Structure 1
């Protein structure tokens, strides 16, 4: 079950970050315009917040089931950055300060880096401390 939740978490991350990278890909390569693309982007923005909340909860359950409790692991550090990223996004939503959006996006990039670490070297902490 925890493996399924891991894939669900990864899918949530891809969908939650899609408004940003779809907009960038369109700006750099595709140059799509029109009501279809606008409607698609509005749909992604609409589901961003609820899926972001799910992205905080599902990885916590995944980690608890995989480790049998709370343990320091690359996933724990990753989840910490997911929570901080979500908090920065929620703070931006409340106060509408452009600097907070920048912090939210930078933290999303850091979260992506930790996802790569967690996927490819999940026991990194044990290697460092051993």
Structure 2
């Protein structure tokens, strides 16, 4: 059990940074003076995978937290997971909100990175 939650934690971290990479790679591509022909293929792959890896992140993150703690309780990991859930719910309501949702979705990405580092370095901050 000990090893399983660690593997799921690493998987969650990889998925989170994969999620953020879509924004990062789009920005890199936007400001490249000479745009490589293969770069749009990477963006297309990241864009298509984004929703599915987001769902996987929610599931894997939840299982990781439950196995690590044996229950659901207030913890830096729960706050991080709720932030991920909030970003996903924002995506679900994008048609009702309009184009404003993407601004908040991207801001939430930066918040999630900060929450990840808090969770990684200070997991028992709320103890």
TM normalised by structure 1 equals: 0.88
Alignment-derived partner of residue 118 in structure 1: 119
Does the 8 A contact of 1:2 with 1:62 survive in 2? yes
Does the 8 A contact of 1:26 with 1:32 survive in 2? no
RMSD: 1.5
Aligned residues: 124
Runs (4+) off by over 6 Å = none
Please list every run of 5 or more consecutive structure 2 residues that lacks an aligned counterpart in the other structure. Answer: none
Does the 8 A contact of 1:16 with 1:51 survive in 2? yes
Note closer, same or farther for the CA distance 1:79–1:34 as it changes in structure 2 (3 Å cut): same
Cα distance in 2 between the residues matched to 1:4 and 1:110: 24
Return the structure number with greater helix share.
Answer: 1
Cα distance in 1 between the residues matched to 2:34 and 2:66: 42
Indicate whether 1:12 and 2:26 are aligned. no
Cα distance in 1 between the residues matched to 2:96 and 2:34: 31
